[in-house]
Structure 1
């Protein structure tokens, strides 16, 4: 089961960086969302494949036509938060206000219930597991926020499995679709989205895909935008992570979609026999 998803945000929505943190900061950068979304739509059309789009409430409010087009083309829409902030930097009250606003903005445009979510930067970790209670409170049924290894902005390295499961926390349960992992040089590693996908050669991605029964992807519009401006105050390491591999990422994705079958999250949910799924209690 290979699931195709995109996190819909602007090219400058880079986490944990001073000049790209707030709405005020974002005003200094040009918008590239429309051309980048058109590129994604063309990739999907050419390959006749469905995808789930995790969208910011901020994008919905500022560019409602983008959300309308995603919906009109028949793609599933979930939320990626409202203001693209790290979940573990918020109080639970702040997190819930952000989540509620994002759901409102999206539902107001498409007239459909939002039931799927992915945290910015996969920023749910051991310190803020209360986020799962909040997701349940606001009607989220499918979560894609678990990153089952270490990462700069979160990650739960001891999460038991990297396949769809029932996640239980403090008496609430969600269907969890974690990021898939693989073993590279003895280390648990990701290959199916973002900077990891841009970094690895396609030959390795293809090989690891053949070995994987479950793949959860995560791409951003900026991953395919080789002409995006440089954000000057990023460290050398962050510049490498943010800009490496932009030139051939679209080609690699097109090859991947040609070589393997992908479905959206809604289709995957319907194909899984949840009565037989692993139940993972996390506390």
Structure 2
């Protein structure tokens, strides 16, 4: 019997008001006063994964961990991997080296203190590591991280490094940090997103399932899927003043997301990022 490839289930633990697209409309100063819904959404997500016996990686903001330490502890207690999403959802591309160093070190220390487990992975907010700031990977390695999942090999108006490899690689040489991109498929001369985010909510589920199966069967590689707690939350507050594109990207099909996550747990084999990629991958 052929063994199914294990894919990486990942979740970026942030709340709706912290997404980069909302930054022009929601000031950081207002974050502490806003209704935070991440705790209840994480309870639902962890329940879904626990029921399916799926272990995942949770790239968690330090800002969230500081205010909801019980969420961090429940992630760790459930056998999931805790990883860093930075402290306050600042794009890596908007920080200089000193600011980035402080961000990745403080979030790592906070998560480790709360969970009692070592933090090995990092994902930049909005996939904000690319050709112009590959120095960030050196900074992560020096801070004690073992891998990153921060380069998205697609062309996008907010992020992307389309010339990057589609699968795990070391951008800064054989001794550099392992970079594990989220999953794409190659169609003609372009990489198309195939595992998560607004694309996953927009496209019919059978198409997303076909794309991930193609990566498993044709490329022989693990897929890296990602989502956010706010993507299952149909009752989240809706900020005023959002443009049509921003509203569409953020809210499209959020009412279907929870069922689709359940479907993924049935249709594929899953594991944590560290279990899949830190056992010789990319070397």
Superposed CA RMSD in Å reads 1.8
Structure 1 equivalent of residue 139 of structure 2: 134
Structure 1 equivalent of residue 197 of structure 2: 194
Task: Quote the offset at 1:124 in angstroms.
Answer: 0.6
Q: Distance in 2 between matches of 1:113 and 1:94?
A: 22
Q: TM-score, normalised by structure 1?
A: 0.90
Q: TM-score, normalised by structure 2?
A: 0.90
Task: Quote the offset at 1:92 in angstroms.
Answer: 1.1
Q: Distance in 2 between matches of 1:240 and 1:223?
A: 13
* Per-residue Cα deviation, 1:80-103 (whole angstroms, up to 9, x for no partner): 000101111111111111111111
Answering whether residue 169 of structure 2 is matched by residue 165 of structure 1, we say: yes
- The one of 252, 255, 271 aligned to 1:263: 271
Task: Quote the offset at 1:38 in angstroms.
Answer: 0.8
2:138–2:177 CA contact under 8 A, matched in 1: no
Structure 2 equivalent of residue 3 of structure 1: 8
- The one of 20, 29, 35 aligned to 2:26: 20
Answering whether residue 280 of structure 2 is matched by residue 273 of structure 1, we say: yes
Q: Distance in 1 between matches of 2:189 and 2:244?
A: 27
Q: Distance in 2 between matches of 1:237 and 1:28?
A: 26
Structure 2 equivalent of residue 281 of structure 1: none
Task: Quote the offset at 1:162 in angstroms.
Answer: 1.1
1:164–1:176 CA contact under 8 A, matched in 2: yes
Structure 2 equivalent of residue 222 of structure 1: 230
Q: Distance in 1 between matches of 2:39 and 2:250?
A: 20
- The one of 63, 69, 84 aligned to 1:64: 69
Task: Quote the offset at 1:21 in angstroms.
Answer: 4.7
Structure 1 equivalent of residue 258 of structure 2: 250
Structure 2 equivalent of residue 99 of structure 1: 104
Q: Distance in 1 between matches of 2:185 and 2:208?
A: 10
Q: Distance in 2 between matches of 1:21 and 1:151?
A: 24
Task: Quote the offset at 1:117 in angstroms.
Answer: 0.5
Which range moves more in the overlay, 117-126 or 176-185?
A: 176-185
Q: Distance in 2 between matches of 1:226 and 1:83?
A: 24
* Per-residue Cα deviation, 1:198-248 (whole angstroms, up to 9, x for no partner): 111011011112211221111100111111121212211001000001010
Go from structure 1 to structure 2 and tell me whether the alpha carbon gap of 1:25 and 1:205 turns closer, same or farther (over 3 Å shift).
Answer: same
Q: Distance in 2 between matches of 1:164 and 1:91?
A: 26
Task: Quote the offset at 1:75 in angstroms.
Answer: 1.0
User: What count of residue pairs does the alignment treat as equivalent?
Assistant: 272
